[in-house]
């Protein structure tokens, strides 16, 4: 069974209806513009454990929602 996200407007939906994108924090120590763009585009934290995330319901109500999700088990602990 795939991950289900409970949208407050549409109810439980499959994860494939949503877009998720991490907004990375680029260190201030990187002064070269090309290196900063490279970090912003490709370097991800890939955290393990409970994380607060923003998801966009692309194929539904087209609204943003905030989830608290455990990245080890994909369990959604809180949706709002």
Residue by residue, pLDDT tens for the chain (80 residues) are: 578 999 999 999 999 999 987 666 777 777 788 887 887 777 777 789 998 888 999 999 999 999 888 989 988 888 77
How far is Cα 16 from Cα 26, in angstroms, rounded to an integer?
28
Tokens representing residue 23 in the block: 């907004």
| Beta carbons of 71 and 20 less than 8 angstroms apart | no
| Alpha helices for the chain (secondary structure H) | 33-42
The set of residues, in sequence order, having a beta carbon less than 8 Å from that of 68 and lying 6+ positions away, is 50, 51, 52, 53, 76, 77, 78, 79
Q: What is the CATH architecture of 4-79? A: 2-Layer Sandwich (3.30)
């Amino acid at each position: 069974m795939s991950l289900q996200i409970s949208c407050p407007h549409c109810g439980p939906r499959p994860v494939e209806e949503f877009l998720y994108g991490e907004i990375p924090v680029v260190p201030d120590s990187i002064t070269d513009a090309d290196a900063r763009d490279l970090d912003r585009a490709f370097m991800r934290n890939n955290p393990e454990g409970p994380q607060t995330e923003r998801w966009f319901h692309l194929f539904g109500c087209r609204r943003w929602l905030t989830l608290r999700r455990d990245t080890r088990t994909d369990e959604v602990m809180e949706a709002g």
